[in-house]
Amino acid sequence: MVSENFIRELESIVGASHVAISSTGIELYSYDASLIKSNPAVVVFPGDTQEVAQVVKAANREGVAYVARGFGTNLSGGTISVTEGLVICMSRFNKILGIYPEDRYAVVQPGKTNLEVQEAVGKHNCFYAPDPASQKVSTLGGNVGENSGGPLCLKYGVTSNHILGMEMVTSDGEVVRVGGPVLDSIPGYDLRGLMVGSEGGLGIITELTLRILPKTETVITMLAIYDDIPSAANSVSRIIAAGIVPNTLEMMDATVIEAVESNKPCGYPRDAAAVLIIEVEGMKTGLKEQADQIQEICMATGCREVRVAGSEAERASLWAGRKGAFGAMAQLAPNYLVNDACVPRTNLPEALEEVAAIADKYHFRCGNVFHAGDGNLHPLLLFDSRNEDDLKRVHKAGWDIMEACVRLGGTITGEHGVGREKQEGMHLVFSGDDLNTQTRLKSAFDPNNKLNPDKVIPLSEPKGQPLPPTPPRTLKRPGGASASGVAEAMAEIKAASASGGSVIPVGAELLETYGNICDASAKPVKSLAMTDVIDYDHENQVITVGSGMSIDDLQALVAEHNQWLPIRPPFFKDGSTMGALAATAVSGPERMYYGAPRDFLMGLQYIDSEGKVISTGGKVVKNVAGYDMTRLLCGSNGTLGMITEGTWRIATKPELCTMTSGTGDLASCSKAAVALMTANLFPVYIAAVPVEGDNWRLTTGFEGLTDVVRHQTDLTSALLAKNGLTDIADKDYDLLTGPFKEYFQGLDQKAYVIKAGAITTKIPELFNGLKMALNGSQPEWFLDFGCGRIYVAVDTLDQQTYDAVCKKIASVGGHIRVDKAPEAFKRSNDVYGTLPRPEWKLMHAIKKALDPKGVFAPGRMQGKI
């Protein structure tokens, strides 16, 4: 129970006017957009981070559970206080703290709505890609908690792909910064990826650093009209298979069309069975040809007609119907249950047939409005909540829809979260061991289970005990312990754990010294036998392979379908494995455009410290079922478990790869790089290497359709010349090796390779500082302006110089990792820097929770843990 003394303490922290205890105030925060309702005992409205920290500490002293929330648009009961505890409302955190187009980031508070952020960055000719349909009322904090997507996520990815950093209050009331404005993430466990989609169960976010992008030059919006739903779904698959990645592929069926047109007509034909809103954007050159190709595909797959928006007003009208669809459905019934599940794109026709059959079975009318491009369904079941029988049946129907989508290889929730509503559904996709692992992870952040407790993970009987190790009830996960080489590795790890020993997972042993040096007693456990192609679904552009498969072999395999994995990891050698790619999360300069391994790895399986196989993620792009263990393991460098297989998103090969380069001094190159960062272009990378004298060669690459690439290189040549660069030239290059392979090989000849991260505009300052610190070391340099990092390679690095390097990097808000160093240096130094970072404490807690005996790679992570 909440005491009067506790309420008085809250009032002393935030002011009496910012504490609600009246029945009206409590009622307003007893529900969200789901069907779940529960009254909190008190609601508090803090105004800054320190007030949140003080409130959390007070709640801990009182033993009161608490949940943070915004405007309550959550659809799964995740923001409801189920313990009659404390609600911490973040609505006063509604400021935009800074917008920085040159470095492509913005800093905002979590109580700002998505649309308000879009409008603010739009004034700087930028946009923030995640755009949920609820953007007028949903806050950034809620978007992060649920890893929301929206129509644009087909091309640009979901929220997790666009969160660079955050300030958060932990369960003990400490304030910690995770990540930062640099695109190249801080080395170590991916805490920002873990926080996104955690539904408020791991910490309270008080500030967000967002990745923003320059607006594109032009956009074409089309409405494709169909007389049957399977034809529309078939069009979606064919468009993606053709190598076209539209901004959006949104589908609505006849029921939704009826609701929208009756509410506020948008031009949708009332006699259609379904419509697709298809949008492409980019350079004017080549865009009409893409739109024409899409129209041809649609007409060849059963489309009745394709209408092209002739003006911005027509485009806005089409989108108003899609974004207002949920609200319009209120005309058709007193209530509707929004279902949220995801299936592989090509299984959409079958999934929609199942949805229709389930709705008919339970006697409900159903409307479908969803993100067809990524297979994320949102069936809306119409019912009357005043009818007790309706309520029982609608919950059963919702469960059946969820189960049907999982049976088709999907997941229980794509973007609306688990919360309370889908807790039992977690058993459909995860084993008991998987869920117990997630419970241990939560305990690392919230040992007393006071931070949004009893959500997401199914509750055990009796409460607090581990769940039985049963397999997933519905989802069939191939591979696992039956895949080649896995059983043998499990046995070795079990033996080490039982004897108090330790192991170090290795592949081709080409990166065995990556990270801090491990304890000498750690026994190598090899993944080279894990070479199975477990599943290759080329139509959905997804492949699952064993960790022992080489990257070269994977690229050769998918090339047969004109596909590739868009990652060129620097310093990787012939034979380097997919397991090494997942474990190290290494990416090259092209990360600026394509993303890092964390952005392509959709799911994985790994052996834990008890020798059990644990599964994470799945094979669909949108998946917020549980904590994001996939991103946590990606980049964990073998310290949390041995990754045995990964499920990777792949892409259609670009037609052409061309780079445009020019020569100038560092100031001119930096000025040109900033101009490229803010231009309406799509550079894959922006990087510079030293040439004669004090000059540099700035190189910008473009990959894609031939006409579009050529047009962008022409514009880039003019931009480089305008900024004072000379000797401007274009050059085509090989897709898989990229333009910098030989240069990175040259850096690797040195004894030490240091990678320093900083925002783009700080690169010159950081370079000059490092150059001074490394005076006399004859360094070799690589400046990655696009990703915000500097590689510097030297033959010698003494303690004094290393300290100076670390301090200089810290002075510009950057981070460091020594990617290569002799054993003697590693024995006396931490390769992650001489200045401990505050987030290391959380990383150590995760390590202790998931590997309590220190079985995996002891000493390798930050702080030599």
CA 552, 650, 630: angle at the middle one, nearest 5?
95
Torsional sign, CA 104, 109, 112, 113: positive
Strand partners, 540: none
Q: What is the mean pLDDT of the chain?
A: 94
**Six token digits for residue 603:** 């799911």
Q: Tell me what the mean pLDDT of segment 181-187 comes to.
A: 89
- Contact indicator for 88, 173 with CB cutoff of 8 Å: no
- In whole angstroms, what is the distance from residue 302 CA to residue 735 CA? 35
- In whole angstroms, what is the distance from residue 206 CA to residue 197 CA? 15
Going by C-beta distance under 8 Å and a sequence separation of 6 or more, which residues neighbour residue 818?
A: 752, 753, 754, 755, 825, 829, 831
**How many other C-beta atoms can be found within 10 angstroms of the C-beta atom of residue 62?**
20
**Six token digits for residue 686:** 């922006």
Torsional sign, CA 835, 836, 839, 843: positive
- Contact indicator for 439, 454 with CB cutoff of 8 Å: no
* Per-domain boundaries in the chain: 4-89, 96-214, 480-652, 656-828
pLDDT at 510 over 70: no
pLDDT at 201 over 70: yes
Look at strands 752-757 and 789-794 and give their pairing.
Answer: antiparallel
DSSP category for residue 533: E
Alpha helices in 302-387 (DSSP H): 312-323, 325-328, 348-361
pLDDT confidence band for 525 (50 / 70 / 90)? very high
- In whole angstroms, what is the distance from residue 337 CA to residue 663 CA? 60
Q: Is 824 exposed, middle or buried (0-12, 13-18, 19+ CB in 10 A)?
A: exposed
- Contact indicator for 287, 280 with CB cutoff of 8 Å: yes
DSSP category for residue 329: G
Same fold, 96-214 and 656-828: no
Going by C-beta distance under 8 Å and a sequence separation of 6 or more, which residues neighbour residue 374?
A: 149, 153, 154, 342, 345, 414, 620, 621, 622
Task: Encode pLDDT of 639-683 as tens digits.
Answer: 999 999 999 999 999 999 999 999 999 999 999 999 999 999 999
pLDDT at 685 over 90: yes
Task: Encode pLDDT of 540-575 as tens digits.
Answer: 999 999 999 999 999 999 999 999 999 999 999 999
Going by C-beta distance under 8 Å and a sequence separation of 6 or more, which residues neighbour residue 307?
A: 222, 223, 225, 267
Q: Tell me what the mean pLDDT of segment 139-148 comes to.
A: 95
Q: Tell me what the mean pLDDT of segment 777-785 comes to.
A: 94
- Contact indicator for 589, 786 with CB cutoff of 8 Å: yes
The amino acid that residue 22 corresponds to is S
Residue 604: its pLDDT value, please? 98
What does R_g of the chain's alpha carbons equal in angstroms? 26
- In whole angstroms, what is the distance from residue 231 CA to residue 340 CA? 22
Q: Strands of 516-600 (E only): list them.
A: 523-526, 533-537, 542-546, 563-564
Residue 444: its pLDDT value, please? 97
Alpha helices in 67-219 (DSSP H): 114-122, 140-146, 153-156, 191-195
pLDDT at 511 over 70: no
CATH dotted code for 656-828:
3.40.462.40
**Six token digits for residue 43:** 């609601």
**How many other C-beta atoms can be found within 10 angstroms of the C-beta atom of residue 519?**
13
CATH fold of the domain at 4-89: 3.30.43
Q: What are phi and psi of 716, to 5 degrees?
A: -70, -40
- Contact indicator for 130, 153 with CB cutoff of 8 Å: yes
Residue 184: its pLDDT value, please? 86
CATH class of 96-214: alpha beta
**Six token digits for residue 82:** 């189920």
Alpha helices in 63-152 (DSSP H): 114-122, 140-146
pLDDT at 152 over 80: yes
Nearest to 295 by CA among 257, 242, 347: 242
Going by C-beta distance under 8 Å and a sequence separation of 6 or more, which residues neighbour residue 695?
A: 663, 664, 665
Residue 625: its pLDDT value, please? 97
CATH class of 480-652: alpha beta
Look at strands 365-371 and 752-757 and give their pairing.
Answer: unpaired
Going by C-beta distance under 8 Å and a sequence separation of 6 or more, which residues neighbour residue 71?
A: 91, 113, 137, 138, 139, 142
- In whole angstroms, what is the distance from residue 579 CA to residue 814 CA? 28
**Six token digits for residue 733:** 């290059």
Q: pLDDT over 90 for what percent of the chain?
A: 86
Task: Encode pLDDT of 46-73 as tens digits.
Answer: 999 999 999 999 999 999 999 999 998 8
- In whole angstroms, what is the distance from residue 338 CA to residue 380 CA? 5
Residue 256: its pLDDT value, please? 94
pLDDT at 364 over 80: yes
pLDDT confidence band for 512 (50 / 70 / 90)? low
pLDDT at 271 over 80: yes
Of residues 133 and 352, more confidence is placed in: 352
**Considering only 132-141, 269-278, 489-498, 803-812, which range has the smallest mean pLDDT?**
132-141
Q: Tell me what the mean pLDDT of segment 602-614 comes to.
A: 98
- Contact indicator for 269, 275 with CB cutoff of 8 Å: yes
pLDDT at 315 over 80: yes
Q: Strands of 618-719 (E only): list them.
A: 642-649, 651-652, 656-665, 685-690, 695-704
Q: Is 521 exposed, middle or buried (0-12, 13-18, 19+ CB in 10 A)?
A: exposed
Q: Is 82 exposed, middle or buried (0-12, 13-18, 19+ CB in 10 A)?
A: middle
Task: Encode pLDDT of 155-172 as tens digits.
Answer: 999 999 999 999 999 999
pLDDT confidence band for 776 (50 / 70 / 90)? confident
DSSP category for residue 694: T
DSSP category for residue 777: S
pLDDT at 245 over 90: no
Residue with tokens 């090796």: 737
**Considering only 36-50, 128-142, 190-204, which range has the smallest mean pLDDT?**
128-142
Q: Is 741 exposed, middle or buried (0-12, 13-18, 19+ CB in 10 A)?
A: middle
- In whole angstroms, what is the distance from residue 425 CA to residue 472 CA? 10
Task: Encode pLDDT of 109-129 as tens digits.
Answer: 999 999 999 999 999 999 999
pLDDT at 513 over 80: no
Nearest to 352 by CA among 377, 315, 327, 381: 377
- In whole angstroms, what is the distance from residue 805 CA to residue 746 CA? 22
> Whole-model pTM above 0.85?
yes
Q: Tell me what the mean pLDDT of segment 835-840 comes to.
A: 89
pLDDT at 388 over 70: yes
